[in-house]
């Protein structure tokens, strides 16, 4: 195998890996925030907002990310809103991921028993504190496996961001492919994704074991 190829392409792959990591990080964090808000709106059945959330979740889950990115990058400027590639990618990932996280967290919230909530109320907790200290911690533990799967799904979904002119891993690999390094660049691609995703996957497994140990939901 041509080792000089690896040393030459390494900086490119490293940069692209970093980009994927940054996009994934913000995409996932914002997804969890959006998802939590949507899930709480559903949980408290807040009128009007609840319908908007419902519509949002259906749209987000039933359109491909690539289409959402196209819209953000090419259609929005027509409406007078210009976003750069990275912003588009993060907004797109958040739009998609928020819907999945909302469903994950909603199932977590619903797993918290009625009497747990009443116990919190009988101790004088108001709606917001009840959510924060009693319901959400338990809900997250229950939702953790789905949150973990969604995180990894979103990290993999970043592979389409080259359509908004970002030089991500797939873009770099494709570029090198054209220069006739099909095998090497494909291997590099696999290795880079593994380096990115494997630790996240293992980290979540650890968290899941921990939260089970703490007796969440038991």
Partner 1 sequence: MPESQMVLEIRNLVKSYGERLILNGISLDIHEAEVLVVIGPSGCGKSTLLRCLNGLEPINSGDIYLDGGLITGPDTDWCEIRQKIGMVFQSYELFPHLTVIDNILLGPTKVQKRKRADVIPEANNWLERVGLLDRADAYPRQLSGGQKQRVAIVRALTMQPKVMLFDEVTASLDPEMVREVLDVMLELATQGLTMVIVTHEMGFARAVADKVIFMDKGVIVESAGPEEFFDHPQSERAKRFLNIFEFTGIHRVAAG
Binding site for partner 1 (CB under 8 A): 113, 115-116, 118-119, 121-126, 129, 133-134, 137-138, 141, 214-218
Give kind and range of the element (H or E) at residue 194: helix 182-213
Which whole-number Å values give the CA distances from 3 to 10, 15, 184, 185, in the listed order?
11, 19, 9, 12
Burial class (CB in 10 A: 0-12, 13-18, 19+), 37: middle
Min dist. Cβ of residue 217 to partner 1 (A): 6
Q: Cβ(20)–Cβ(196) under 8 Å?
A: yes
Min dist. Cβ of residue 105 to partner 1 (A): 15
User: Whole-angstrom Cα distance, residue 188 to residue 173?
Assistant: 8
CB neighbours of residue 33 within 10 Å: 13
User: Whole-angstrom Cα distance, residue 160 to residue 23?
Assistant: 12
| 35/108 with CB nearer partner 1 | 108
Min dist. Cβ of residue 148 to partner 1 (A): 18
Min dist. Cβ of residue 206 to partner 1 (A): 17
| 117/187 with CB nearer partner 1 | 117
Min dist. Cβ of residue 145 to partner 1 (A): 16
Min dist. Cβ of residue 97 to partner 1 (A): 25
Taking the alpha carbons of 127, 104, 157, 197 in that order, is the dihedral positive or negative?
positive
| 61/212 with CB nearer partner 1 | 212
| 82/123 with CB nearer partner 1 | 123
Burial class (CB in 10 A: 0-12, 13-18, 19+), 141: buried
User: Whole-angstrom Cα distance, residue 207 to residue 193?
Assistant: 21
Residue that has been written with the tokens 């994950």 in this structure: 104
| 135/164 with CB nearer partner 1 | 135
| 51/210 with CB nearer partner 1 | 210
């Amino acid at each position: 195998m041509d080792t000089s190829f690896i040393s030459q392409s390494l900086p490119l792959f490293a940069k692209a890996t970093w980009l994927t990591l940054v996009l994934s990080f913000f995409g996932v964090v914002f997804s969890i925030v959006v998802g939590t808000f949507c899930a709480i709106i559903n949980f408290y059945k807040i009128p009007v907002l609840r319908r908007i959330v419902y519509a949002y979740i259906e749209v987000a889950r039933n359109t491909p990310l690539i289409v959402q990115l196209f819209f953000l990058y090419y259609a929005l400027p027509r409406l007078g809103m210009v976003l750069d590639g990275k912003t588009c990618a993060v907004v797109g990932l958040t739009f998609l991921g928020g819907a999945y996280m909302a469903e994950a967290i909603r199932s977590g919230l619903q797993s918290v028993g009625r009497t747990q909530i009443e116990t919190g109320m009988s101790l004088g907790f108001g709606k917001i504190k009840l959510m924060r200290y009693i319901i959400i911690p338990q809900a997250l533990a229950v939702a953790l496996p789905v949150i973990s799967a969604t995180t990894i799904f979103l990290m993999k979904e970043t592979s389409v961001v080259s359509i908004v002119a970002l030089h991500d891993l797939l873009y770099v690999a494709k570029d090198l492919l054209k220069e006739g390094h099909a095998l090497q660049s494909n291997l590099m691609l696999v290795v880079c994704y593994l380096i990115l995703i494997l630790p996240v996957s293992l980290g979540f497994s650890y968290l899941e074991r921990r939260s089970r140990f703490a007796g969440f939901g038991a």
